[in-house]
Amino acid sequence: MHYLDHAATTAVLPEAAAIACRVMTEQFGNPSSVHRMGIEASGILETARKQVAAILSASPSEVTFTSCGTEATATAIYGACRRKGRGKHIITTAIEHSATLNTVRQLEQEGFEVTYLQPDADGHIAVSDLRDAVRPDTVLLTCMLANNEVGTILPVKEFGKILKKKAPQALFHIDAVQGLARIPIKPKLWNADFISISGHKIGAPKGIGALYIRKGVRIAPLMVGGGQERGMRPGTEATPNIAAFGEACRIRQEQLEDNYARVEALCAQLEAGIAQRFPWAVYNGKHDMPHVVNVSFPGCKSEVLLRVLEMHEVYVSSGSACAKGKASHVLAAMQLGHERIDSALRISFAPSNTPEDVEALLDALEEGTKRLRRE
Ligand code: PLP
């Protein structure tokens, strides 16, 4: 099997799975219980919080565990926008994940005005566009660190600087789900108030995420209940998933540079293979991160090509896993033509991939594209 769809999700690291299993079957106490089992569970929770904080260059008290990246993002966006007596203007980009886009669309229904910064043909968002968009009544800038479909990196450091200068009252949320464990996360340098992350993209199980909330920032939670996570995210903590998330963060942070170099080499191998075997293929976006490569094979419908690749046990995607079957809003915002959008494949690497995976993909692509172009 050659799995090259790690931006959608990735395998749980064996070390993370082992910890989750131990916490589920042996150290299964409720962190709120005052007996020994509870104290042990609370210790597991706080160890994981420190591990997640370390990869975020944050302090543990700035980390709130959530059920996923989507919940972290919703908590930040609703929390920032529903503060009383502030403005009604939100800034985001047209290339955000649906977790962000659908949340701000809901706020639009509630009377907020949203500015959607548009990408250029490479998938980049211009710093000058943000400068023009910030207003005295801006309450929130929410944007991603790295795009999940084309691998571009947004200029979050410059964005943070401009936002805090032109609208000091506004809060800054960064969706770092695709950047986590791939590039360093620097909340202070970026002037970030919130950062969303997700476990299942980095080797933790599905169903765990976290939100960095800068010390001193006060927002209302999405739900009320038992007061867990300092009231920000009530509900008994998912200690098995949380422990696994902490362990995955620890491992991936330790290996960050080595893993980056490994993925960079795989990406270079893919690009060389494409140049040699498919000189007619077109890249979509400038993948600043080597982890995500988006490329169109004109004349070959991606949905059909995906099936051919699957017959060779090669798994890639035609875009975001959350946009199943729909044309990519990211490629559409980049104003790429219909044929290019319709024939786009997203290939996304993890450090566990090998040169053989890339060769298998290239071979399968050769067979698939020959057949489809002939047809
Ligand atoms: N943001 C980005 C950029 C993503 O790629 C994803 C997942 O695909 C999410 C948010 C949502 O994360 P989760 O699946 O944990 O809700």
Written as one string, the DSSP assignment of 289-332 is STTEEEEE-TTS-HHHHHHHHHHTTEE-BSS-GGGTTSPPHHHH
Does pLDDT of 374 surpass 90?
A: no
Residues noted as catalytic: 322
Q: Which of 52, 143, 149, 178 to mutate to test the pocket of ligand 1 (most atoms within 8 A of CB)?
A: 178
pLDDT digits (tens, 9 = 90+) for 222-278: 999 999 999 999 999 999 999 999 999 999 999 999 999 999 999 999 999 999 999
Check if the beta carbon of residue 7 is closer than 8 Å to that of residue 148.
yes
pLDDT for the residue 185: 98
For residue 73, the ligand 1 atom closest to its alpha carbon is: 10
CA atoms within 13 A on the CB side of 291: 29
pLDDT digits (tens, 9 = 90+) for 201-234: 999 999 999 999 999 999 999 999 999 999 999 9
Q: Taking CB atoms and a 6 Å cutoff, what residues make up the pocket around ligand 1?
A: 68-70, 97, 99, 144, 148, 175, 177-178, 198, 200, 209, 321-322
Spatial separation of the C-alpha atoms in residues 123 and 128, rounded to whole Å: 15
Does pLDDT of 368 surpass 60?
A: yes
CA atoms within 13 A on the CB side of 365: 30
Name the closest-CA residue to atom 8, ligand 1: 8
Name the closest-CA residue to atom 5, ligand 1: 148
